[in-house]
Structure 1
Amino acid sequence: MKSSLKKRLVFAFLSTILVPILAAILTFYLGANQIANDEDELDQLFTDVRREIRMNEEKLPNQDAFYQEIKTLLDRYQMNITIEGEGDEVLFDSRTYIEVEELNSFLPNLNTFTIQVAGEEDRKWGVTIRANSAQSEPFKRMTDIVHILLLSVGIGVLTLLLMVVIWTTYISRTVLTPLKQIYQATEEMRNGNLDYPIQYKKRDEIGRFIQGFNVMRQHVKDSFTKQKQYEDARKQLIASISHDLRTPLSSIKGYVEGLRDGVVRNEEMKQRYLQVIHDKTTHLDHLIEDLFEFSKSEADQLAIEKEVVNVVEYFEKQLIKYQFDLQEQEVELSYTIEPQPRSILLDPIRIEQVMSNLIDNACRYGGTRIWIEVRPDQSERNVIIRVVDNGQGIDKEDLPYIFTSFYRAEKSRSTQHGGSGLGLSIVKSIVKAHDGEIDVESESGQGSTFVITLPLYVNGEVVDL
């Protein structure tokens, strides 16, 4: 389940406010329940004071006599009373008879109460009750209430501080730390280190941002890697072109100079020179054509014009032609084509280029017998083309690289055996453009087997491999 950073921040804000308030209210509620029973005792105090004053109101003018009557009440509750008549006239103050110490309380007025007492003949007195001790009952109740109130506020403040610390730590880990990691990663990228992924597993806004950052970093890394590969390929291309073009051009130049300088003495030698010049120019033409095809395949501009053809008719026509051409080179070519009619969508010229390249390679590297098999696979979804020769084969260490541009298994780069090093790279590009695959099996001295897999055209559509 995705976690929204916005929701978490709102929750953090609300919980930071509400949790301390709830903690304070709960603390006050629990404490208030403990002193709720003291309320009856305070009411009883007021009742006793009213009763004693009414019972002894006739002695009120004589303060000494009045004091003696209520002294027991004052001692029992550890209190003093002041009675005021109309016009705030003080009729009695027990503090005249009792030495009163200052209460050790930061809020002494909490232990002071004022009540109205009605006497006979509609007389009313204002009675102020003061506690001599903050710990005496029932005056202790008010002190306890204040203590509980202060405790509630203190717990609320502590809870607030705790929530602030918790959420600050959480936000620091889930927001600030990832942002710091992103900053560090950008610094690493700026310094050229593209192998610096950010580890963050949450699927929130920060997580999606970091995931996008990692994708961007990987894309930049791949782009730099690809750019470097292109740069290396460009350098290799320049070096290969220089070598491959210089050799035949030097030969042509030498033979032309021989003809110009009159080295040729007879017609037979002249024809030999001209034949060599012709062969070298043909080789140059092939090199230039390969480079042209390679540049188009690298730029994904290799022209492919597909059409639906019959497998048997197409390949049989091509192989018969090769069979006739190879007779002059004393190379035996045999083939097997499964006769069932099947269709395939391909570019006839490009696939002919593929077959021609594979057959030429087989001849160039010592093949005297070539066997080609064309048949569908067991699923009846693809056609398999196998080109098998008995040539010198390919060393095991060279097999992974033979489809790489400019790679030659024959290291001498002689024009007798080696071509431009682009033929198989172009072959792979053409097969890939037909949604197919090409593979090779070979051992040194035991020939090679190239296997091409192309999707058949069934019920009006190309079948996926």
Structure 2
Amino acid sequence: MGKLKTRLILAFLSIILLPILTTGATLALQSSNIEAQEERVSQSHQQVEEWVNQELAENEISHVDFNGAVREYSTDIVIKNTNEEVIYQSSDEEFSEGSMENLPPHSFSVTAGDGTTYNVEVRSQIDLTQQILQSIFISLGVGLVTLILLITLWTWYIARTILLPLREIYIATEEVKEGNLDYPLQYKKKDEIGRFVGGFNNMRLHLKQLREEQQQYEDSRKQLIASISHDLRTPLASIKGYVEGLQDGVADTEEKQQKYYQVINRKTDQLDRLIEDLFKFSKMELQQFPVNQKLIDSRDFLKDVLEEIETEMDKKDTHLIVQQPIPSVTLSIDPDRIVQVITNITENAIRYGAEHLTVSVEINENGEYQISFQDDGSGIGENELDKIFDQFYRGEKSRSRELGGSGLGLSIAQSIMNQHSGRIEVQSKHGQGSTFIVILPIKGNS
């Protein structure tokens, strides 16, 4: 049973039962007081009877001070002779056996010392009927006060624990509707309302996260458009300029023409890289970046990949050093995608001035396959290390554009590694080269 439901049932039962119990308890207490009073009245009647018997036995009735007994025992006394003639009466009221205002009178006969017989009636001056009615009214009053207090307390409690949170929820929904997602609800109790408030806060945070992601996506889209405009315009302008130079006959020698052709070819390659990166990025954003994993031998795979890279690096005067032996394990990877990662790392090393690139492979202490690429290039500043995997981020931006970087290569590489349950780590200092570490899980290892 939920806590809120329990509270409501408890409120309902207490409002019904507690006033009844309080009334009953007060009435029982008052009844015990009345019974004790009746007992005292009965005792006083007996005492009066004993006193009258003693006084009339010793004195004539005319010499007995009945008024003293009336005062001492708080009673009224009526004395009659055998002819029902009143000899003494302490009160003007007549006694009645059926009186509803008090207890029935106590009657007895007494024989005086002179042999005369008298009939005596004694009645208490205490009105027990009035006390009974007063006790009933007091009990009902206590029950009514208890009922009012309970209604007041439960109304305050329910308003504070149910109605007030509901009002806060309503205000929060209005704030969310107006776009304010920074309006948390502070209700901490773990009841139905608490769970509802928790769900509302989770929904609010989720909406806030979605809005932030949407804003980030919009910012990325705008940045993408700006990057495309700038990055494509620059090589296109160069190509156009050199083509016009050829058309106008500016390159009037064979050597000059070859130089123009080389620049056009280089700028075309740059355009090709930019367009390819943008295509991969679009696929990645649309979650259409397929990864087709299969089981391969790590040594055979790396040997083929590094031989191709070595051939390309020789053309660019960069020396590749592969430390042997290369461990042979079974990897579950998409070879084409991992080649993209490795190619991106090696091309960055060449692009940023590396003359030597050392590749070492090992099984690390966590049982993972670790491939390290250490270069002697320009390195990365410490303040840039945590940004290089961000989309469109480029260290030394002007130089990056000149070298044809899109700022997407490492972001794409990191996405590929995430899809392989692996990761990329980097260690670098400005002017001292960089070390990129590609870590992949080994098939069969947890």
TM-score (norm 1): 0.79
Counterpart-to-counterpart distance in 1, 2:85 and 2:338: 127
Q: Deviations over 1:406-430 (max 9, x none)?
A: 1110121554435011111111111
Counterpart-to-counterpart distance in 2, 1:93 and 1:13: 63
Aligned to 2:371: 385
Q: 1:418 to 1:393 in 2, by over 3 A?
A: farther
Aligned to 2:418: 432
> Is the partner of 1:412 in helix, strand or coil?
helix
Q: 1:168 to 1:223 in 2, by over 3 A?
A: same
Q: Residue 327 in 1 paired to residue 314 in 2?
A: yes
Aligned to 1:111: 101
Amino acid at match of 1:309: I
Q: Deviations over 1:167-187 (max 9, x none)?
A: 112111111121122122223
Q: Aligned ranges for residues 14-53 of structure 1 at < 5 Å?
A: 14-39=13-38
Amino acid at match of 1:431: M
Q: Residue 350 in 1 paired to residue 350 in 2?
A: no
Aligned to 2:348: 361
Q: Residue 256 in 1 paired to residue 243 in 2?
A: yes
Aligned to 1:456: 442
Q: Residue 158 in 1 paired to residue 145 in 2?
A: yes
Q: Aligned ranges for residues 51-90 of structure 1 at < 5 Å?
A: 78=75
Aligned to 1:408: 394
Amino acid at match of 1:399: L
Q: 1:435 to 1:419 in 2, by over 3 A?
A: same
- Deviates further, 190-199 or 423-432: 190-199
Counterpart-to-counterpart distance in 1, 2:401 and 2:182: 43
Decide whether the 8 Å contact of 1:188 with 1:196 is kept in 2: yes
> Is the partner of 1:438 in helix, strand or coil?
strand
Amino acid at match of 2:381: D
Decide whether the 8 Å contact of 1:3 with 1:202 is kept in 2: no
Decide whether the 8 Å contact of 1:80 with 1:93 is kept in 2: no
Structural RMSD (CA): 3.6
Out of 243, 261, 264, the position equivalent to 2:230 is 243
Amino acid at match of 1:245: L
Amino acid at match of 2:15: T
Aligned to 1:417: 403
Q: 1:339 to 1:361 in 2, by over 3 A?
A: closer
Aligned to 2:114: none
Aligned to 1:304: 291
Decide whether the 8 Å contact of 2:45 with 2:122 is kept in 1: no
Displacement of 1:23? 1.3
Aligned to 2:60: none
Displacement of 1:223? 0.9
Q: Deviations over 1:355-406 (max 9, x none)?
A: 00000000110110111111111232x1111111010001111111100111
Amino acid at match of 1:111: E
Aligned to 1:54: none
Displacement of 1:262? 3.4
Decide whether the 8 Å contact of 2:394 with 2:400 is kept in 1: no
Q: Aligned ranges for residues 62-211 of structure 1 at < 5 Å?
A: 78=75, 99-100=92-93, 110-112=100-102, 136-137=124-125, 139-211=126-198
Aligned to 1:395: 381
Aligned residues: 415
Decide whether the 8 Å contact of 2:280 with 2:289 is kept in 1: yes
Amino acid at match of 1:31: Q
Gaps of 5+ in 2: 48-65, 79-83, 108-120
- Deviates further, 317-326 or 222-231: 317-326
> Is the partner of 1:441 in helix, strand or coil?
strand
Q: 1:130 to 1:279 in 2, by over 3 A?
A: farther
Decide whether the 8 Å contact of 1:111 with 1:130 is kept in 2: no
Q: Deviations over 1:36-66 (max 9, x none)?
A: 2344567789999xxxxxxxxxxxxxxxxxx
Displacement of 1:341? 2.9
Counterpart-to-counterpart distance in 2, 1:388 and 1:266: 43
Counterpart-to-counterpart distance in 1, 2:325 and 2:130: 108
> Is the partner of 1:429 in helix, strand or coil?
helix
- Deviates further, 175-184 or 9-18: 175-184
> Is the partner of 2:187 in helix, strand or coil?
coil
- Deviates further, 249-258 or 402-411: 249-258
> Is the partner of 1:457 in helix, strand or coil?
coil
Counterpart-to-counterpart distance in 2, 1:93 and 1:232: 117
> Is the partner of 1:27 in helix, strand or coil?
helix
Counterpart-to-counterpart distance in 2, 1:358 and 1:294: 17
> Is the partner of 1:385 in helix, strand or coil?
strand
Decide whether the 8 Å contact of 2:270 with 2:404 is kept in 1: no
Counterpart-to-counterpart distance in 2, 1:38 and 1:437: 94
TM-score (norm 2): 0.82
Counterpart-to-counterpart distance in 2, 1:251 and 1:418: 13
Counterpart-to-counterpart distance in 2, 1:431 and 1:93: 123
Out of 269, 274, 282, the position equivalent to 1:295 is 282
Decide whether the 8 Å contact of 1:20 with 1:159 is kept in 2: yes
Decide whether the 8 Å contact of 1:435 with 1:454 is kept in 2: yes
